[in-house]
Structure 1
Amino acid sequence: METELPPFEIVFNEVTKHVSIAEADSTPARELAVTRLNSVYKELMSLNADVPPPMNQINGRLTDQVRKLKDAGNVSYKKGQFSDAARMYSLAIEMALKRAPWEGSAYQREELGVLYSNRAQAYMSSSSWGEAYVDADAAVYLKRTVAKAHFRKGKCLQHMGRLQEAKEAYQIGIEMPGLDGSDAELKTAMAEVDELLR
C-alpha cells in the first residue's frame, strides 16, 4: 500500500533553469529527486534537439573512451603496475557512469560489471583486500552469471579471514544458473576453504 507524501513547494530558477525545493520542505529523498531531475534536464539540453534519442541508443564516443581506459588498465596490469591499472579502471568507471539516463541500462551494467571485476583483480594483486571486496561484490551484483566475479569476491573474503562468508560466495557462484562455464576455479577454491574450516 502506497503512502501519499504531503505536498511540497518546488522553486524554478528562470536564470539557471534548475528546480529546487523550498528549504522548509527539504528532505534527503526530495533533494536526490530534484538533483536527478536537474541532471536529466541538463542532458536533454545538451542534445540541441527537440526530443531525446531513441531508447537503448548507445553513445559510441563514450563507449570508445571507456574501452581505451579499460585497455590501458589491462596493459598496466599485465606489466605488474597494479596501482596504475586500478587508476585506469577507476577512470573508466567514472566515464561509464556518465551515460545519459536514456541509454540502455543493460549495456551499462555489462560495461560496469567488467570494469569493477577488473579493478577488483588489480586491488587483489596489490593485497588491497577491502577495496577488492567492494568491487568484486559490485561485479557480482551487476553480472551474476560470471564465475570470475564470484571467485574474486570469495578470495577477498578468504584473505580477510571471513572463511564462512567466502565459502558461501563460492557456493553461490557454483550453484548460479546460467554460469558462464568457467567454474573450475570456484570448485578448487571451495575445496581449499573447506580444508581451512576443518
Structure 2
Amino acid sequence: MSQMHSHGPGQPSHSHGPTPPPQQQQQQPMRPPDPIMQQLIEESFQPVDIVLGDPDNSVVLCAPHSLEKCTACDADYSALNRISRTLQMNPNLRCPPPPNIVSQKLSQAINAAKEEGNTFFKSGQRDKAIQRYSMAASLAAQRPPWEASQLMREEVATVMSNRSVAFLEEGDYIDALVDAETVIALKRPWSKGHFRKTKALIQMQQWDDAREAVQLGLNFEPGNAEMSQMLVEIEDAVRRQTEESFRRRQKKVEA
C-alpha cells in the first residue's frame, strides 16, 4: 500500500506507491502527419526493383544484375547491407542500440594496436609500427554503423597521423602525404594533420604547397610555435629558390 509523505519542509507530499501498468497510464495522443510533408514524401516515392541475397536473404541487391553496387541501376545498397550483416553476426541484437553505446572490446583492441605501433616506432622498428597502425585503423573502420561516427573519425585520424610520421621516417613521402590528407579530411580543424602534410611536402621540396599547408594549419592554431617556425623556413627556401631561378635566367641571357 502506498504512503504519502514529504522529503523536507515546504516540499509537497507525494506517493511512492506502485506505478500503474502501461495500459493505465495516460498516453499522449499521436500527432497526425503534416499533410504537406506527407504529400511531398508520396510524390517523391519511387518503387525500386530489388532481390534478397545470401546469407539467408539478409542483403539487398538490384534485381536486374544481382549487385550490391550497380552503376547501370544507379543503386548502392552497401550501407544498408552493412547494417544487415552486422545484425546478422549479432543475433542477440533485436535492434541497433542507441548511439551512445560503444563497443568496449573494440575500443580496447584499437588502442592496443595503436600502442604497439607506438612502441615499435620508438624502438626504431618503423615497418612493424606501420603494420600496427594499419591494423588499428582497420579495426576503427569496423565500428558498427549505429555508433557515433565522430568516435571512429577521432580514432582513425589519430592512427593515421602516427602512421604518417612512420612513413616519413621511412622516406616514403608519398604515403606520408596521403595519410596526412586523410587526417585533414577526417578532422580538418586539427592542426596536426596540416603539420604532417607540411612535413611531407617539405621533404618533397614542394615549397609553395608546403607554405599553403602550414598557413592553413596556422589558421586553426595561430599560436603553434613549431608551425610558425616551419613557415619561416619555408619562406626562406622559397626565396632561395626564386633567387636561384633568377640567376639561371640571367646566365642564359648573358650566354
Range into which the TM-score falls when normalised by the shorter chain: 0.7 to 0.9
Aligned position for 2:213: 169
Cα distance 1:195–1:71, how it changes in 2: closer, same or farther (>3 A)?
same
Aligned position for 1:189: 230
Superposition pairs of residues 1-198 of structure 1, within 5 angstroms: 8-13=48-53, 15-23=56-64, 26-27=70-71, 30-31=74-75, 33-47=76-90, 48-176=92-220, 179=221, 183-198=224-239
- Distance (whole Å) between structure 2 residues aligned to residue 185 and residue 175 of structure 1: 14
Q: How many residues align?
A: 191
User: 1:13 deviation in Å?
Assistant: 3.5
Q: Which runs of 5 or more structure 1 residues have no equivalent in the other structure?
A: none
Q: Which has the higher contact order (CA 8 A, sep 6+)?
A: 1
SS of residue matched to 1:23: coil
Identity of aligned residues (%): 33
Q: Which runs of 5 or more structure 2 residues have no equivalent in the other structure?
A: 1-43, 240-255
Answer yes or no: is the 8 Å Cα contact 1:85–1:122 preserved in 2.
yes
- Distance (whole Å) between structure 2 residues aligned to residue 45 and residue 185 of structure 1: 49
TM-score (norm: length of structure 2): 0.69
Query: RMSD of the TM alignment (CA)?
Result: 2.2
User: 1:7 deviation in Å?
Assistant: 5.2
Higher mean C-alpha displacement, 37-46 vs 185-194: 37-46
TM-score (norm: length of structure 1): 0.88
Runs of 4+ deviating beyond 4 Å: 4-8, 28-31
Q: Which has the larger radius of gyration?
A: 2
User: 1:97 deviation in Å?
Assistant: 0.4
Cα distance 1:174–1:57, how it changes in 2: closer, same or farther (>3 A)?
same
- Distance (whole Å) between structure 2 residues aligned to residue 130 and residue 78 of structure 1: 22
